[in-house]
Amino acid sequence: MNTNSRKLWKHAAGCLASTVILSMACSTTAMANDIVHNSVTVTSYTSGGTDGAALMPISVSETITSGQQTRTAEDAAKALAWQQAKAAEEAARILAQQQEEARIIAWQQEVAAAQTAIAAQKGITPQDLEVLAALIQCEAGGESYVGQVAVGNVVMNRMESGAHPNTVMGVIYEAGQFTPAGNGRLSRTLQSGRISPSCRQAALEAVAGSEPVGDKLYFRRVNGRSGQIIGNHVFY
């Protein structure tokens, strides 16, 4: 073999070696990629049955979504439980309030019935009570409840004093005594029926014997006169 032939042979052998090395490198890379791919595939699949024969893909995003749905369901359940608890609490409060209001109404009715019975024993008629309540409305409708009872107290004191008529009507319509009776305001109030519940109750209480101003026979607007002051009135 001459020199040129040997050179050509070495060159061909070198190319062949390079091809073999490159092929081996490519195979190695492919094997590495396959290993990585298989590893990801194994961790990304799970058995669909007890025998492990079938593999079912599990997506990471699907796992996260499932967790979010679980938390959302738990939060919704907590919110619903809180709303139910608040609703039950509010229902209990309303029931307690209604029971208390019913108790107060029943008590007021019992008191009114007792006071009406006392009024009847004293010869006070329902009409007397209506006129007395109307007078209280005119004279002390804007005063405190005690101030309203005090006006009724004065009427009852006059009726029992001996110095004035001995009936409710006689006392109220006595000439020159109560301004609303003389100027027509009392009559208009009776016709309209605009008498507050507190004035009606005050009339009953006064007739039943309540005496916030004792035996006083007169009252007027506060003007410096000495006496017992209740609101805008002085009683003497």
CA 76 to chain centre: 24
With respect to residue 25, please indicate whether it lies within any of the assigned structural domains: no
Query: What length is written for the chain?
Result: 236
Q: Model confidence over 105-131: pLDDT tens digits? A: 988 788 778 778 888 888 899 999 999
Listed range (21-25, 124-128, 134-138, 153-157) with the worst mean pLDDT: 21-25
Is pLDDT of 137 > 80?
A: yes
Is pLDDT of 91 > 90?
A: yes
Give the domain-ending residue among 88, 121, 154: 121
Mean pLDDT computed over 14-41:
44
The verdict on 66 and 144 lying in the same domain is no
The pTM score is 0.57
Mean pLDDT of the chain: 80
User: What is the predicted pLDDT for the residue at 50?
Assistant: 47
User: What is the predicted pLDDT for the residue at 65?
Assistant: 73
User: What is the predicted pLDDT for the residue at 121?
Assistant: 85
Mean pLDDT computed over 77-97:
93
Q: Model confidence over 147-172: pLDDT tens digits? A: 999 999 999 999 999 999 999 999 99
Q: What are the C-alpha distances in Å from 35 to residues 30, 32, 42, 48, 53?
A: 9, 5, 10, 23, 21
Is pLDDT of 59 > 70?
A: no
The verdict on 68 and 160 lying in the same domain is no
Is pLDDT of 18 > 60?
A: no
- Residue of 196 and 57 predicted with greater confidence: 196
Is pLDDT of 58 > 60?
A: no
DSSP codes of every residue in 42-97 = HHHEEESSTT--SEEE--HHHHHHHHHHHHHHHHHHHHHHHHHHHHHHHHHHHHHH
Give the domain-ending residue among 80, 100, 121: 121
With respect to residue 24, please indicate whether it lies within any of the assigned structural domains: no
The verdict on 90 and 168 lying in the same domain is no
Q: Model confidence over 203-213: pLDDT tens digits? A: 999 999 999 99
CA trace torsion 109, 112, 114, 117 (10° rounding): -130
For a pLDDT cut of 70, what percent of the chain falls above it?
73
> The domain that contains 189 carries what CATH number?
1.10.10.2520
Q: For 216, phi and psi rounded to 5 degrees?
A: -70, 145
Mean pLDDT computed over 1-10:
50
Is pLDDT of 49 > 80?
A: no
Is pLDDT of 24 > 70?
A: no
Q: How many domains does the chain have?
A: 2
Mean pLDDT computed over 91-115:
88
With respect to residue 26, please indicate whether it lies within any of the assigned structural domains: no
Is pLDDT of 221 > 90?
A: yes
With respect to residue 51, please indicate whether it lies within any of the assigned structural domains: no
For a pLDDT cut of 90, what percent of the chain falls above it?
56
Name the residue range of residue 204's domain. 124-235
Give the domain-ending residue among 106, 121, 136: 121
